[in-house]
């Protein structure tokens, strides 16, 4: 049975996934809410006109889950729920049901996509989907050896996602199997993405032999990879329980208590902070109101902590030539960190000006690594015997 390539970055803010020959990508908020089987639906005809990504409602059956056969609203639909959960600081990505639920949901959404009807066999309403998966875990978890346990949960079992009240896909079931699972440390993935193109050809010659620090600021954690001689120096690499989620939560809380405005999730806060027009403004009773004082104070505080981490790592690796800040959190803190650096130590630091590139960096890197793995392991076809007359 043929296997489809999937590169999935289960980020704390959202899932980024790239499939096949780069022909399909998905980005879903990493929010789930436990639910009951029969969520009320107004008119099935109307349901099927809606975007499936806005109504992901599934039942997940997998031996890898602590809570088997539970029903979830996922992504956009979960943000509207009172019982929505986002990952908490200090939680291990490799040990949370939520990570697996999001992973399986994303793969199932690819499998049911009508463009892939040729990729997987379908009997009645059941699709059998086989994937070769490239994904990653925070450096801290890989250093603790958690990648092996995570991989063994995935390989060798069948994981089933059943679409309940989901537009277009209602009643479909997807059986997910993994042909192979590769788990990469997140910091190393960022490096691969910096120096190599999709065919793993080196695109950044002047970087390849430099000593680099990569500071990847995520929602719940920050990974700092120290790269020398083209490898991550495992002893120097560090993971910290410090991400942007708590600060976003604090901003959300303060906007609520000061302005009486209820924002659905941390994502709404990110939107307010990063959008091009009307940045740091909200609508209060119909009038445009600045929340600059709140966002500036809280984000500057976090930027100082991130800067302190950089300073400590740089001190221990004094011959570092440049530090790249990557990840969704770096995108939120960019201006604050630049200002601190200009006023303080003036390290050689850089950000990705392209927002999409920064956010999709991990998924892109896993894609490069997993396609390279497939390329190397596929056996060359034996030459055809000439046909004798």
What is the CB-side half-sphere exposure of residue 357 using CA atoms within 13 A? 9
**Cα(60)–Cα(239) distance, rounded to whole angstroms?**
31
Please report, in tens digits, the pLDDT of each residue of the chain (389 residues total): 689 999 999 988 789 999 998 888 999 988 899 887 666 655 555 777 788 998 899 999 999 999 999 999 999 888 877 777 777 766 788 888 999 999 999 999 999 998 887 889 899 999 999 999 999 988 778 888 999 999 999 998 999 999 998 989 999 999 999 999 999 887 777 778 777 877 778 877 777 778 889 898 888 788 888 888 777 776 777 778 888 888 999 999 999 999 998 887 787 888 898 887 888 898 998 889 999 999 999 999 999 999 999 999 999 988 999 998 988 888 889 999 999 999 988 999 988 766 677 778 889 989 999 998 998 887 665 555 655 55
Q: What is the pLDDT of residue 353?
A: 64
* 3-state SS track over 306-358: HHHHHHHHHHHCCCCCEEEEECHHHHHHHHHHHHHHHHCCCCCEEECCCHHHH
What are phi and psi for residue 66, nearest 5 degrees? -70, -40
Taking alpha carbons only, the member of 174, 71, 178 closest to residue 113 is 174
Measured between alpha carbons, how far is 59 from 9 in angstroms, rounded to an integer? 22
Backbone angles phi, psi at 228, to 5 degrees: -145, 150
Is 97:146 a contact under the CB 8 Å cutoff? no
174 bridge partner residues: 127, 161
Query: How far apart, in Å, are the Cα atoms of 125 and each of 54, 161, 169?
Result: 22, 12, 10
- What's the rounded Cα separation, in Å, for the pair 134 and 132? 7
Please list the alpha-helical segments (H only) found in 155-244: 186-195, 205-208
Which tokens hold the place of 200? 């793993």
């Amino acid at each position: 049975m043929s296997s489809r390539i999937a590169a999935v970055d289960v980020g704390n803010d959202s899932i980024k996934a790239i499939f096949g020959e780069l022909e399909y990508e998905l980005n879903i908020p990493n929010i789930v809410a436990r639910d009951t089987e029969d969520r009320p639906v107004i008119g099935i005809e109307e349901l099927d006109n809606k975007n499936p990504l806005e109504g992901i409602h599934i039942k997940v059956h997998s031996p890898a889950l602590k809570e088997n056969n539970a029903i979830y609203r996922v992504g956009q639909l979960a943000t509207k729920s009172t019982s929505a959960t986002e990952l908490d600081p200090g939680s291990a990505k490799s040990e949370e049901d939520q990570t697996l639920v999001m992973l399986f949901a994303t793969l199932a959404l690819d499998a049911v996509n009508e463009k892939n009807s040729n990729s997987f066999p379908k009997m009645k309403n059941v699709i059998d989907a086989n994937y070769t998966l490239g994904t990653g875990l925070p450096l801290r978890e890989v250093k603790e050896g958690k990648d092996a346990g995570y991989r063994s949960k995935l390989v060798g079992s069948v994981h089933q996602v059943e679409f309940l009240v989901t537009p277009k896909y209602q009643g479909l079931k997807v059986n997910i199997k993994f042909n192979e699972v590769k788990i990469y440390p997140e910091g190393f993935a960022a490096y691969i993405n910096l120096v190599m193109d999709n065919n793993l050809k080196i695109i950044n010659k002047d970087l390849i032999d430099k000593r680099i620090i990569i500071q990847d600021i995520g929602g719940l954690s920050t990974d700092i990879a120290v790269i020398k001689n083209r490898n991550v120096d495992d002893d120097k690499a560090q993971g910290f329980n410090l991400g942007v989620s708590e600060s976003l939560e604090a901003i959300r809380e303060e906007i609520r208590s000061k302005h009486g405005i209820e924002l659905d999730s941390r994502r709404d806060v990110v939107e307010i902070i990063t959008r091009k027009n009307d940045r740091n403004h909200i609508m209060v009773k119909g009038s445009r109101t600045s929340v600059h004082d709140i966002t500036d104070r809280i984000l500057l505080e976090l930027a100082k902590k991130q800067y302190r981490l950089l300073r400590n790592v740089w001190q221990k690796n004094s011959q570092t030539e440049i530090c790249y800040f990557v990840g969704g959190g770096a995108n939120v803190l960019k201006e604050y960190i630049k200002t601190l650096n200009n006023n303080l130590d003036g390290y050689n630091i850089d950000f990705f000006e392209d927002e999409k590139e920064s956010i999709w960096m991990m998924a892109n890197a896993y894609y490069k690594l997993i396609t390279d793995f497939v390329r190397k392991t596929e056996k060359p076809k034996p030459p055809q015997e000439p046909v004798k007359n």
